[in-house]
């Protein structure tokens, strides 16, 4: 694959990321006059707690073709439904169970018919295509109260961005029902792996959060690891071994042009991460057999040490307010997790005290949790804990689970799961912070080292 092809792929990615998705409100029909006062039970809402949540039954009426949409209307509806049911917070009521059969987007809602099939929420949608543009409208209804849940919305976008529009619709539904920020209209950087297990070829890809639309931004000629998005998603840090030793590269996603970060001669650099404001990069630097944490000013390239000990410090991650950094170190004699001030002041504080070793910490975008990899004997876990080390909870267990990365809303963690043996392979999985709803991503081939980027604008 040539650099020209990379540029073409990046142009396609940029077109989808930057394509204008204009939104406007649409008026809703009048409420059903047959609703009784007893049925007005207030706003529909899923209360998400740490325990079991019974999925909310929702009805998604077939999206209407309002001109030129054809099969695209059904495809958009399928993505919206898959986004919502994939959270395990929603359960779709099959279309063949629907009593009401709306004939147009503006039809009055026959709430009793939807209550009869125990639907708690109803989604209506319509799609129109004119030339190279697509328009998608939707409305969300609280069936029990007999009222719209928020205003209807209309999204206008280039036709090639139809999946983004579907994710935007699902984001709106999710946010209105759960009260939380959604995450469907986002992308994931990851490592695609091919070849035998002892000689893997690796390249960096960027895909939709659900594994669709992968685009390759490096080839497999050189070993690359640890892709990490900038806060705005426009840049990507990664570690390249093209020179024979690890070196941090900074890529502009739009142009797929990369440059090495200028480091002191004779050093190796790896495991980079951006600060939340994009001003700083924190990373591991090895010199003379010693690995410490360093920080670089993105604008000037100026470096300074943050932690310098005889131990190995690596895998740094900023808190969402940018004031602290969590990282792993073996200064206590085993691999453990520490938290320190982002300016390097004070002493790092160890926060992991459970069984086994701890590594690859990642601070939640909400700031309330830190995800990590834990090894106990022959088993690996993805777990979460509070920033002070309390309320530790293991979410997974397998032969090898590692490298958690957070969804933009801090609700879901994506990680790598590898299987044993010579024919073993790596796949990306996601799991809810409650430990429920673990799912493999539907992508072709082996993959590892995910980094979940921000919500797209």
Please tell me the distance from the alpha carbon of residue 315 to that of residue 338, in angstroms, as a whole number.
11
Instruction: Kindly report which listed range (50-64, 123-137, 312-326) carries the lowest average pLDDT score.
Output: 50-64
Please tell me the distance from the alpha carbon of residue 198 to that of residue 390, in angstroms, as a whole number.
38
CA 174, 180, 184, 185 torsion-angle sign: positive
CATH topology of domain 187-455: Neuraminidase (2.120.10)
Question: pLDDT per residue over 371-428, tens digit each?
Answer: 999 999 999 999 999 999 999 999 999 999 999 999 999 999 999 999 998 778 999 9
Predicted pLDDT of residue 52: 55
Give 3-178's CATH code, choosing from 1.20.210.10, 3.40.50.11860, 3.40.50.10070, 3.40.190.10: 3.40.50.10070
Q: Would you list the DSSP string of 37-84?
A: GGG----------SS--PPEEEEEPPPEE-SS-THHHHHHHHHHHHHH
Question: pLDDT per residue over 260-270, tens digit each?
Answer: 998 888 899 99
124-149 mean pLDDT: 96
Strand partners, 448: 191
Please tell me the distance from the alpha carbon of residue 92 to that of residue 450, in angstroms, as a whole number.
29
Check pLDDT > 50 for residue 12: no
Nearest Cα to Cα of residue 373 among 321, 331, 418, 312: 418
| CATH 2.120.10.30 location in the chain | 187-455
Q: What element of type H or E holds 113? A: helix 111-116
């Amino acid at each position: 694959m040539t650099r020209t092809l990379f540029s073409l792929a990046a142009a396609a990615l940029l077109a989808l990321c930057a394509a204008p998705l204009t939104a406007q409100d649409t008026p809703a029909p009048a409420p059903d006059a047959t609703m009784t006062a007893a049925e007005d039970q207030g706003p529909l809402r899923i209360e998400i707690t740490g325990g079991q949540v019974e999925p909310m039954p929702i009805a998604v009426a077939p999206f209407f073709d309002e001109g030129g949409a054809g099969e695209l209307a059904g495809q958009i509806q399928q993505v919206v439904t898959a986004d919502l049911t994939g959270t395990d917070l929603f359960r779709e009521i099959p279309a063949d169970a629907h009593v009401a059969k709306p004939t147009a987007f503006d039809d009055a809602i026959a709430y009793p018919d939807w209550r009869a099939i125990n639907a708690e929420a109803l989604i209506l949608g319509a799609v129109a295509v004119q030339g190279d543009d697509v328009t998608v409208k939707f409305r969300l209804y609280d069936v029990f109260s007999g009222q719209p849940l928020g205003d209807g919305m209309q999204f206008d976008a280039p036709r090639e961005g139809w999946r983004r529009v579907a994710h935007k619709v699902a984001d709106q539904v999710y946010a209105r029902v759960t009260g939380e920020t959604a995450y469907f209209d986002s992308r994931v950087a990851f490592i695609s792996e091919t070849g035998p297990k002892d000689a893997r070829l690796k390249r960096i890809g960027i895909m939709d959060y659900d594994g669709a639309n992968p685009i390759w931004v490096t080839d497999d000629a050189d070993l690359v690891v640890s892709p990490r998005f900038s806060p705005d998603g426009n840049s990507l840090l990664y570690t390249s071994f093209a020179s024979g030793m690890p070196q941090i590269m900074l890529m502009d996603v739009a142009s797929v042009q990369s440059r090495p970060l200028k480091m002191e001669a004779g050093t190796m650099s790896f495991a980079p991460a951006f600060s939340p404001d994009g001003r700083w990069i924190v990373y591991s630097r090895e010199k003379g057999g010693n690995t410490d944490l360093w920080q670089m000013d993105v604008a000037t390239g100026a470096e300074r040490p943050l932690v310098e000990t005889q131990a190995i410090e690596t895998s740094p991650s900023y808190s969402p307010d940018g004031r602290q950094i969590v990282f792993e170190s073996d200064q206590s004699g085993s691999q453990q997790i520490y938290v320190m001030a982002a300016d390097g002041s004070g002493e790092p504080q160890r926060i992991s005290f459970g069984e086994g070793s701890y590594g690859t910490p990642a601070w939640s975008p909400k700031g309330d949790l830190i995800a990590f990899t834990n090894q106990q004997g022959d088993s690996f876990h993805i777990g979460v804990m509070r920033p002070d080390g309390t309320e530790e909870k293991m979410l997974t267990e397998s032969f090898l689970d590692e490298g958690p990365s957070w969804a933009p809303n801090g609700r879901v963690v994506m990680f790598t799961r590898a299987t044993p043996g010579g024919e073993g392979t790596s796949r990306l999985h996601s799991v809810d912070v409650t430990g429920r709803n673990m799912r493999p991503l539907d992508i072709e081939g082996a993959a590892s080292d995910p980094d979940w980027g921000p919500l797209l604008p």
